[in-house]
A and B are shown apart, each in its own frame.
Chain A
Amino acid sequence: EPEVTQTPSHQVTQMGQEVILRCVPISNHLYFYWYRQILGQKVEFLVSFYNNEISEKSEIFDDQFSVERPDGSNFTLKIRSTKLEDSAMYFCASNAELTDTQYFGPGTRLTVL
């Protein structure tokens, strides 16, 4: 069964450093998303992406964040200058045009020291 994959599974970085989280959505999907979950809290929407542009973003998704689909298979989330409060699980999700829901990847655990 096709699935969303994410790399790395765990990323440790120093405050102020840039990180790039990578996702490979399900191959025929057209809509892509990033969510995050701070430990012990609920899953929160960050951004949605369709047709090579951002469809919607939350107030969390400020100028420090950016997304890109650099080729036909990868979807990335970049955090330019990480803060301690960026420590969280980051989930990528994708959705096909004809299906009714979003499928999530296993997540990348980001730890900012």
Chain B
Amino acid sequence: QKEVEQDPGPLSVPEGAIVSLNCTYSNSAFQYFMWYRQYSRKGPELLMYTYSSGNKEDGRFTAQVDKSSKYISLFIRDSQPSDSATYLCAMTLKTSYDKVIFGPGTSLSVIP
């Protein structure tokens, strides 16, 4: 079983749609959870991070963590063409200084 799994997509949605991106993990020791956005041939750009179960909202983005199910989600409201990118879920074990374990990413296209 892989440590972190994501549906690779591609996921294609119309502009304005609500997007749901999901990620599962196998190691219950993961403590910190992040979502990064990556444009083609660019570095990962941090969108959100959290270390507790529940929801965290930032503008159009909501991150959801369910540690009991080992499942995290990112919701994007009112999606825009500029949101078209690959979304990487990521997590660390004990602290935020630990190595980041990335999922393989989900490719998202928002169609105008």
Contact = CB atoms under 8 A, between A and B. Distances in A.
Most chain A CB atoms below 10 A, which of B41, B98, B99, B102: B99
Nearest to A91: B43
A9 B12 CA distance: 30
Given A43-B88, A100-B49, A89 B41 contact: yes
Interface residues of A, number: 28
Tell me if B's interface is mostly helix, strand, loop or mixed.
loop
30 contacts: A31-B97, A41-B104, A42-B102, A42-B103, A42-B104, A42-B105, A43-B44, A43-B88, A43-B102, A44-B102, A45-B100, A45-B101, A48-B99, A50-B97, A56-B98, A89-B41, A91-B43, A91-B44, A93-B100, A95-B97, A100-B32, A100-B51, A100-B96, A101-B32, A101-B46, A101-B96, A102-B96, A104-B43, A107-B41, A107-B42
A101 B34 contact: yes
Contacts of B88: 42-43
A55 B96 CA distance: 14
Interface residues of B, number: 23
A33 B99 contact: yes
